[in-house]
Structure 1
C-alpha cells in the first residue's frame, strides 16, 4: 500500500477542519515533560472509577450462555463521558438484537489505555473465548508520541493472541492532529490497514467516521462521542462484525 496515498485519502475524509478541532480540544493537556497528551490520560488521575465492575459482567456471561462479541479498547470503547448504556458497544448490542443475531456484546474498554495496557490485559480477554473481538487501541499511543513501530508490534501481539484463542478480529483505527508532523501521522495512521492486510482481518480505518466534526456527535472535549455519536459508531462497526456472525 502507498502510505502517502492512504494518508491523503484519510485527510480528505476526515477534513482539515475536523483535525483542527481535535487539536484545539487537546490543547492544554500536558504531560510532566511538557508534551501533549490525551484527555483520556488526565481522566485517569481524576477521582472515581474508570472501569466497569468486570466480575458482574463475567457472571452474566456465564449465566447468559450466548456467544460473545467483545469490544476491547480504550475510552472510545468504554464510552467515557456518555450516560450509562450509551457506549458504542451498548448500541451495537441493540443493533445485533434488532438484526436477529443471538450474541452478547461485552464492553472491555478502559479509559486511558495504551496498546501496552491492551497487551497486559490480553490474557483475560483471550480466556473469554469470544466469537468476535473488535480491537480499538492506539489513540493514546499516538497522542503521547510513542514509537510507531512499538504501537504496531503491540497491536500485532493482540491480533495474534486473539486469533489464537479462536476469536475473529475486527480492527478499528484512529488518526491524529496534523501538528504531530506529517511523517509521524502518516506512519501512525498506516498501522491499521497494514496490520489488517497482514493478518487478513476487516478494518475500520477511522472509528469516528461520520461522527467527528458533526454537531451533537462529540462531547465538549472534542475527543469522545456523545450518545448520538456512539450510536453512529456502532453503525460503523456493524457491517464489519455482521459477516462474522451466524444467525
Structure 2
C-alpha cells in the first residue's frame, strides 16, 4: 500500500511538471569559455544576456538559453561536459565557442580540431544544429601556428555542415575601448558587437529549426 501511494505521488508530480513546461519551447545551449561567461563584465551587459533580450524582441521568446560557459574552459573540458549537458537540456541548437584557451596555451591545433569536431558530431547526433564560433590567435604566436589554428573552424564547418561565425572578435579586438586591459576579453562596450557577429548566422538557424517562428 505504501509503495502504491509513493508511486502515485511520483507519477502525479511528474505529470504536474510536464504540464508546467511551455508547449513548443526550444533550447539553445552555449558551450563557451570566459568570452561567453561574462568575464570582467556585469552579467546583464554580457552578450549572452543581450541575446536573450534580442530573442524576446524579435519574436523568439519560446527559446530558452542555457549558458554552460566556464571561464578558462578548453575544448577538452567542453568535450567531457557536453554529453551530460545534451542529455539534460535536449537543445535544438548548440553554439560552440571554444578553442581560444587551447590556442593561448599553445595546444596542438590538431588536438583542438579533433575535440571541436567531436563536440560537433555529438551535438548533431543528439538532433541539434551547431553554430561554431571561430577564433584566431595573435601574430606573436607565429605565422605557422596562427594559420593552422585559424583553419580549424572553417575546416570543421565544411566537413560537418555546421554553421560558422568566422571570427568572434571581429570589429572588437582592434578598437579602442572595446577590449579589457588584458587584451583578451571584450569590455561592456564590445558585448553588443559580439552579439552582432553571432546573430546573422544564428538567426536563420532559429527560423529553420522546429519550434521557431
Shorter-chain-normalised TM-score: which range?
0.7 to 0.9
Would the aligned equivalents of 1:72 and 1:107 in 2 still touch at CA under 8 Å? yes
Cα 1:69–1:239 change in 2 (3 A) is same
2:37 to 78, 81, 88: 78
Q: Following the alignment from structure 1 to structure 2, what is the Cα–Cα distance between the partners of residues 225 and 121?
A: 25
Query: What is the deviation of 1:125?
Result: 2.1
Q: Which runs of 5+ in 1 are unaligned?
A: 1-61
Corresponding residue for residue 76 of structure 2: 116
CA distance in structure 1 between the aligned counterparts of 2:179 and 2:20, rounded to whole angstroms = 35
Q: 1:64 to 1:210 in 2, by over 3 A?
A: farther
Q: What is the CA–CA distance in structure 2 between the aligned matches of 1:142 and 1:212, rounded to whole Å?
A: 16
C-alpha RMSD of matched pairs (Å): 1.5
Larger Rg, first or second structure (1 or 2) = 2
Q: Which runs of 4+ in 1 moved over 6 A?
A: none
Is 1:87–2:25 an aligned residue pair? no
Match in the other structure for 1:230: 191
1:203 to 150, 164, 173: 164
* Residue 33 of structure 1: aligned partner: none
Q: Distance in 1 between matches of 2:30 and 2:20?
A: 19
1:105 Cα deviation after fit = 1.6
CA displacement at 1:63 relative to structure 2: 5.9
Please list every run of 5 or more consecutive structure 2 residues that lacks an aligned counterpart in the other structure: 1-18, 207-211
For residues 208-238 of structure 1, give each alpha carbon's deviation from its aligned partner in whole angstroms, at most 9, with x where no partner exists: 1111121222212111112221111112111
Corresponding position of 2:176: 215
Q: Give the equivalent residue in structure 2 for 1:67.
A: 26
CA distance in 1, matches of 2:21, 2:132: 26
Q: Residue 56 of structure 2 aligns with which residue?
A: 97
Report matched runs for 1:124-203 at 5 Å: 124-127=84-87, 128-203=89-164
Q: TM-score, normalised by structure 1?
A: 0.72
Aligned-pair distance for 1:163?
Answer: 0.7
CA distance in 1, matches of 2:29, 2:47: 12
Structure 1, 212-221 or 108-117: larger mean CA deviation = 212-221
Q: Cα distance 1:210–1:63, how it changes in 2: closer, same or farther (>3 A)?
A: farther
CA contact (8 A) 1:79 1:224 kept: no
TM-score, scaled relative to structure 2:
0.83
